[in-house]
Chain A
């Protein structure tokens, strides 16, 4: 049985699945139900000076009948009294001593940070998460992403927190920057024990096209919100990996951003996350989603021979490279399995209109399969191996990108420019 015991920046939990700081981790009653359901940890909904929220707080990005592939919110930090939150954190930690309870914080002045950190530490919590990421509302008051976007401010406040805290400090980074690395390094210079990322992305989720108001609509106005959910995962994966592959960074990472299932979690771990945080999927479907996350991760580790999480954390990081180091002589072409092809010809139209015009309808071809004369033909001499056909094909495994031995030794662009390495002739240029 693989060991899912997690240690992220010194914060331990029975498994790597933590609730992210958000509505699902708003109260003791919720977090305790989540732990009962199987969650390994929770980052409490951000504490700070009490706020007042608006009505109409969330918006969904729906795509071709699938609800909320993206999600955004204009909700602020906790609106519950601090003392209630601290008492419930204490009670939760008492009941679940092995689970990770991390307290997310967001205040302004050094004195405020000192006081709130002291109170948070006194609850028995396992760690702190500094919310330097929120891109709506709080940033207008000089907090949240307003801190995370300024490396010097980030470093200074992080150093205060580390000074006042006796438990590990995670800095939650905002993705609303052009390059995440300086911001991670700022947190490191401030003494952070780890980082968590990404926070939400500044966004307008939709526009009410009848009322001419963006969503979520508050009366006749709206504001930008924080974007999250499955659609942001690629952005989050990149930012996690960008830090993980920076040699001078080296801090533990708690990965966040569109994690909806165990596969997503594995991807974040392979790119360097030692724990993962989930919000949107729980908001949409409840705590019960963790059951499959746990089983799926265990089964993945078992079938891949990973005994413990540290065996897989970061395993794909070395394969994240620069474009100039990619092998230009590596060649693939599309292969259509006529036995699996259903004849929809989505690959034909995608290749003709969106790629390199190498897949053709082939009514007089020799392909034998259930789709008969509708099985398309790939012109190998023109196929650049772009993958578009495989991406649009609705039949799993029908289109494979087959490796071609073209007789050329591996050669990267950098080797070509620097050492005159020989590269193969271009394909699909007509």
Chain B
């Protein structure tokens, strides 16, 4: 079992942004579903959960069946119900949008069904009869958990190698706490492991010990789901001052432990993606009086989700669009950021440098890729830092598969779950003499 997270965490200050449904609310919402045929919501879900079917089961009071439908498609359905950007996936695809009525709240209904299954301790799946085969899974995030669970259903022994002390990857360390807190993700990891036969080795640096060669010798197949690496740095003077943090690292600290925000008055969050928007909302939620997003492009071109930015603005976020930090200044600790204005081509405009006060800076301009980890293995191709795979997650090297952020460059938990499961099914075919053998 994975180690659970400590109780002493900054993130526990947050409440769920979307409230859980009461049973009555869930039934009312479920009854609004039109039960579309070949439903757009189902197509929009990377794991293709049969949404109309699970919603119908909520309406009739068949909650166990509802949860089974969800988990059959996506074993991480409990966390996905909370962390999925449903506005851009299933809920965004709901035909009610076209009809001009509020779309069905699929995420909240999915949470209702899956939470009940967790509360009741219901188990839906059993490990298959032992196949005699063993699979090593590198990284303990959503992709590997989904892959390992599927592999266990087919009877293959699994070993997960994880660098951290907790499983769940970014689901545990990176999700905005008003969507899901770390303990919930750790609970889900335990729930997945309860199928049995998944050995977990934490504190392991694959590549060093075991080496890739040792890993390949020890297992009949390998799944690589290592995610992304550390925050990308701006590479500007003063970035090493106290109070300047990589956003992913900072969020991990507030989710797994404590961050000190007392006395912080003006925070800057640099970037325009979803990590930046999460950082802005989390700092505001933790009481930082003034939080400003600094993005080098225009507001309309921000890669982060519109609904997240709208929410951030409602919560008081400020923004400096078409600005870029060129230096951070201060005596040992950051006191100011030196910014330059950017033109429409995202080029600095000469003579526009100026400073703004800042006593905390989160840099959220991306994460490094870890594809290079596998670069030495013949047959595996690395493209833009990502492990190149086919639709089955196959890397090109016999027995090696990959999925999740390390292959897709950084997508949603639900994408990792889908890719992990698809790879597991391909690995099963491989181990039983089918594809890629």
- Give residues in A with beta carbon < 8 Å to B: 64-65, 342-346, 348-349, 361, 370-371, 374, 394-395
Segment of B29-37, B126-134, B306-314, B424-432 in the binding face: B29-37
Chain B residues, CB < 8 A from A342: 95-96, 98-99
Residue of B nearest to A374 (CB): B40
Chain B residues, CB < 8 A from A64: 31, 59
CA distance A344 to B35 in the complex (A): 8
Known: A346-B37, A394-B34. A65 touches B95 (CB 8 A): no
Contacts A343-B36, A343-B95, A346-B35 supplied; 18 other A-B pairs, CB < 8 Å? A64-B31, A64-B59, A65-B27, A65-B28, A65-B31, A65-B59, A342-B95, A342-B98, A342-B99, A343-B40, A344-B34, A344-B39, A346-B37, A349-B38, A370-B98, A371-B95, A394-B34, A394-B99
Question: Would you give the shortest CB distance from B27 to chain A, in whole angstroms?
Answer: 7
Which chain B residues numbered 21 to 69 have a C-beta less than 8 Å away from chain A? Answer: 27-28, 31, 34-40, 59
CA distance A371 to B43 in the complex (A): 14
Residue of B nearest to A372 (CB): B98
- Give residues in B with beta carbon < 8 Å to A: 27-28, 31, 34-40, 59, 95-96, 98-99
CA distance A409 to B237 in the complex (A): 90
B36 touches A344 (CB 8 A): yes
Chain A residues, CB < 8 A from B38: 345, 348-349, 361
Question: Would you give the shortest CB distance from B235 to chain A, in whole angstroms?
Answer: 45
Chain B residues, CB < 8 A from A395: 99
Question: Would you give the shortest CB distance from A129 to chain B, in whole angstroms?
Answer: 39
CA distance A348 to B35 in the complex (A): 12
A346 touches B59 (CB 8 A): no
Residue of B nearest to A343 (CB): B95
CA distance A230 to B28 in the complex (A): 21
B34 touches A346 (CB 8 A): yes
Chain A residues, CB < 8 A from B96: 342
Residue of A nearest to B32 (CB): A65
Chain A residues, CB < 8 A from B98: 342-343, 370-371
Question: Would you give the shortest CB distance from A343 to chain B, in whole angstroms?
Answer: 5
B59 touches A348 (CB 8 A): no
Chain A residues, CB < 8 A from B59: 64-65
B37 touches A349 (CB 8 A): yes
Query: What are 14 A-B interface contacts by the 8 Å CB criterion?
Result: A64-B31, A343-B98, A345-B36, A346-B34, A346-B35, A346-B37, A348-B37, A348-B38, A361-B38, A370-B98, A371-B98, A374-B40, A394-B34, A395-B99
CA distance A348 to B95 in the complex (A): 15
CA distance A371 to B40 in the complex (A): 10
Residue of A nearest to B59 (CB): A64
Known: A65-B59, A371-B95. A346 touches B27 (CB 8 A): no
CA distance A374 to B37 in the complex (A): 10
Closest CB pairs A-B (n = 10): A65-B31, A349-B37, A342-B98, A345-B37, A344-B36, A342-B95, A344-B95, A342-B99, A370-B98, A64-B31
CA distance A151 to B83 in the complex (A): 69
For B27, B31, B38, which residue has the most chain A Cβ atoms within 10 angstroms?
A: B38
Residue of B nearest to A352 (CB): B37
**In the complex, number of A-B residue pairs with CB atoms less than 8 Å apart:** 38
Question: Would you give the shortest CB distance from A394 to chain B, in whole angstroms?
Answer: 5
Residue of A nearest to B27 (CB): A65
Chain A residues, CB < 8 A from B27: 65
Question: Would you give the shortest CB distance from B334 to chain A, in whole angstroms?
Answer: 50
A346 touches B99 (CB 8 A): no
For B27, B31, B37, B98, which residue has the most chain A Cβ atoms within 10 angstroms?
A: B37
Question: Would you give the shortest CB distance from B23 to chain A, in whole angstroms?
Answer: 13
B37 touches A344 (CB 8 A): yes
CA distance A64 to B98 in the complex (A): 22
B31 touches A346 (CB 8 A): no
Chain B residues, CB < 8 A from A349: 37-38
Question: Would you give the shortest CB distance from A345 to chain B, in whole angstroms?
Answer: 4
CA distance A395 to B34 in the complex (A): 11
Chain A residues, CB < 8 A from B28: 65
Question: Would you give the shortest CB distance from B380 to chain A, in whole angstroms?
Answer: 36
CA distance A370 to B40 in the complex (A): 13
CA distance A85 to B40 in the complex (A): 61
Chain A residues, CB < 8 A from B34: 344, 346, 394
Residue of B nearest to A353 (CB): B37
Residue of A nearest to B35 (CB): A346
Chain B residues, CB < 8 A from A346: 34-37
CA distance A349 to B38 in the complex (A): 9
Chain A residues, CB < 8 A from B36: 343-346
Chain A residues, CB < 8 A from B99: 342, 394-395
Question: Would you give the shortest CB distance from A22 to chain B, in whole angstroms?
Answer: 29
CA distance A425 to B215 in the complex (A): 71
Chain B residues, CB < 8 A from A343: 36, 40, 95, 98
CA distance A65 to B96 in the complex (A): 18
Question: Would you give the shortest CB distance from A64 to chain B, in whole angstroms?
Answer: 5
Chain A residues, CB < 8 A from B95: 342-344, 371
CA distance A219 to B120 in the complex (A): 32
CA distance A84 to B399 in the complex (A): 91
CA distance A345 to B40 in the complex (A): 10
Chain B residues, CB < 8 A from A344: 34, 36-37, 39, 95
Question: Would you give the shortest CB distance from B436 to chain A, in whole angstroms?
Answer: 31
CA distance A349 to B39 in the complex (A): 11
Chain B residues, CB < 8 A from A374: 40
Chain A residues, CB < 8 A from B40: 343, 374
Residue of B nearest to A350 (CB): B37
Residue of B nearest to A376 (CB): B37
CA distance A369 to B99 in the complex (A): 12
CA distance A201 to B249 in the complex (A): 70
CA distance A361 to B38 in the complex (A): 9
Residue of B nearest to A347 (CB): B37
Residue of A nearest to B30 (CB): A65
Chain A residues, CB < 8 A from B31: 64-65
Question: Would you give the shortest CB distance from A209 to chain B, in whole angstroms?
Answer: 11
Question: Would you give the shortest CB distance from A340 to chain B, in whole angstroms?
Answer: 9
Chain B residues, CB < 8 A from A348: 37-38
CA distance A64 to B31 in the complex (A): 6
CA distance A173 to B27 in the complex (A): 39
Chain B residues, CB < 8 A from A65: 27-28, 31, 59
Question: Would you give the shortest CB distance from B37 to chain A, in whole angstroms?
Answer: 4
Residue of A nearest to B31 (CB): A65
CA distance A346 to B40 in the complex (A): 12
For B31, B34, B96, which residue has the most chain A Cβ atoms within 10 angstroms?
A: B34
CA distance A299 to B35 in the complex (A): 36
Residue of B nearest to A63 (CB): B31
Residue of A nearest to B60 (CB): A64
Question: Would you give the shortest CB distance from B77 to chain A, in whole angstroms?
Answer: 23
Question: Would you give the shortest CB distance from A165 to chain B, in whole angstroms?
Answer: 50
Chain A residues, CB < 8 A from B37: 344-346, 348-349
